[in-house]
Amino acid sequence: MKLAFHLAYKNLMGAGLRTWLNAGVLSFAFVVIIFYNALIDGWNQQAKIDGINWQYGYGHLVNDNYDAYDAFSIKDGHGELPESKQKNLTPILIQQGNLYPNGRMMSILIKGIDPNQGILLLPTQLLNDSKAEIPVIIGKRMSESAKVKTGDEFLLRWRDKNGTYDAATVTVAGVFETNVPFVDSRQIWMSIDKLRKLTLLHNKTTYFVANEQYKYESAPGWRFEDQEYLMREQTRLINAKKVGGSIFYVLLMTLSLLAIFDTQVLSIFRRQKEIGTYIALGMTRWQVVRIFTAEGAMYSVFATVLGAIYGIPLMWYLSITGISFGADGGEMGVIISETLYPVYGMGLIFGTILLVILSATIVSFLPARKIARMNPVEALKGKIS
């Protein structure tokens, strides 16, 4: 095998530009595959971190009557949890309401949260700091869609537990910026005590956000949803993106492997006399098959080296600066930041290298098998068609 690689190396180096064209095409596919996957992984990682920091915490203890996907469950989707079971939990109460900013009406969610919580990155401390009667914090998306900013006041209308409408003026105590649209779009955050008072839902909670120390104990009427469960939609979306991406890179790989296959077929046809000479000099046919297979495999090694030469600096640069797609997850219903930072895992890099080497070896072996059936006399004459 050492001899096969030695000869393959010499043959490829001797072939000059043809070798580097093939290696170049393959290296492009190789770099794109790694980069695309790294971008998806980067998005995934970023989305998970943002999701945990802004929304999920270390899981939710949710009232059994509440279903995040069912708007009709909001009104009665709350309950009381004994104080003893609320350790390491931050309560959140959700109710529906209407805003009247600048004379318009917007249906929104009113979310009450403990202003002293430290689990989520929501700047709830602003609710404590504000001198306003009913201070609220909103996200940037909400601020833009309602056209309100810090210090603005607007009318909020809601129904209490008895169904009676009430209204009050609320003041924007702060606007926060987040990649997580689920804590931003069409919602306002206020102190949970204030919301409980406004709605007469004393001690009621829709769900609790757990911190790292929380240990789930069964509580009747409540269910625990862990991080994995809460992030399932995002994970599903990212997996779907990966599948979509894999179609794209299967196409890329097919094109570059086709180039190698084509080169090998042509090479075997064009180098018949050389093959005949190898056999006349004392090589077995399978030894010659090994040379040609090694040549194909070596394209992928060259592609790895070539890809590393331009790919490493490029990918390193992009991992620092990130890539801005100007995407707003709020519009798509996903957690995505404006700038994505690719994450290059060792598994991804070595897995891709292995995939490329294996595929290149296989597509080189397929046409090379023909050599094993070649008549050396015909090969020496160059008469095999």
Partner 1 sequence: MSEKIITTEKLFKRYPVGDGEFTALNDINLTFDKGEFSGIIGPSGSGKTTLLNILGSLDSPTEGRATVLGHPISSLSHKEAAQLRNKHIGFIFQVYNLLPVYTVFENVEFALLLQNRSASERKKEVMQALEWVGLENMANKKPSKLSGGEGQRVAIARAMVKRPDLVLADEPTANLDAKNAHAILQTMKKLNEELNTTFIFATHDEKVMGYLNRLIHLEDGKVAKDEIVTAKTV
Q: How far apart are the first and last CA of the chain?
A: 28
CB atoms within 10 A of CB 256: 26
Rounded to the nearest whole angstrom, what is the least distance from the CB of residue 309 to partner 1 in the complex?
23
Question: Is the CB of 254 or the CB of 277 nearer to partner 1?
Answer: 277
The answer to whether the beta carbons of residues 333 and 53 sit under 8 Å apart is no
Question: Is the CB of 8 or the CB of 126 nearer to partner 1?
Answer: 8
Cβ contacts of 346 within 8 Å, gap of 6 or more: none
Listed in order, strand segments (DSSP E) in 117-264 are 135-139, 153-159, 165-176, 187-191, 207-210, 222-225
Question: Is the CB of 105 or the CB of 280 nearer to partner 1?
Answer: 280
167-196: b (≥16 Cβ within 10 Å) or e: eeebbbbbbbebbbbbbbbbbbbbbbebbb
Rounded to the nearest whole angstrom, what is the least distance from the CB of residue 249 to partner 1 in the complex?
33
Rounded to the nearest whole angstrom, what is the least distance from the CB of residue 371 to partner 1 in the complex?
12
**Euclidean distance between CA atoms 350 and 346, whole angstroms:** 6
Rounded to the nearest whole angstrom, what is the least distance from the CB of residue 383 to partner 1 in the complex?
12
**Euclidean distance between CA atoms 319 and 349, whole angstroms:** 14
Question: Is the CB of 198 or the CB of 268 nearer to partner 1?
Answer: 268
- Residues lying near partner 1 in the complex (CB under 8 A): 3, 6, 10-11, 13-15, 273-274, 276-277, 279-285, 287, 375-377, 380
Rounded to the nearest whole angstrom, what is the least distance from the CB of residue 380 to partner 1 in the complex?
7
Question: Is the CB of 215 or the CB of 373 nearer to partner 1?
Answer: 373
Rounded to the nearest whole angstrom, what is the least distance from the CB of residue 256 to partner 1 in the complex?
23
Q: Which of 274, 302, 318, 310 is nearest to 360 (CA)?
A: 302
**Euclidean distance between CA atoms 283 and 285, whole angstroms:** 6
Question: Is the CB of 362 or the CB of 380 nearer to partner 1?
Answer: 380
CB atoms within 10 A of CB 311: 20
Question: Is the CB of 16 or the CB of 103 nearer to partner 1?
Answer: 16
Rounded to the nearest whole angstrom, what is the least distance from the CB of residue 369 to partner 1 in the complex?
14
Residue 170 pairs in a beta bridge with 154
Cβ contacts of 371 within 8 Å, gap of 6 or more: 268, 275, 285, 288, 289, 292
Question: Is the CB of 102 or the CB of 375 nearer to partner 1?
Answer: 375
Rounded to the nearest whole angstrom, what is the least distance from the CB of residue 273 to partner 1 in the complex?
6
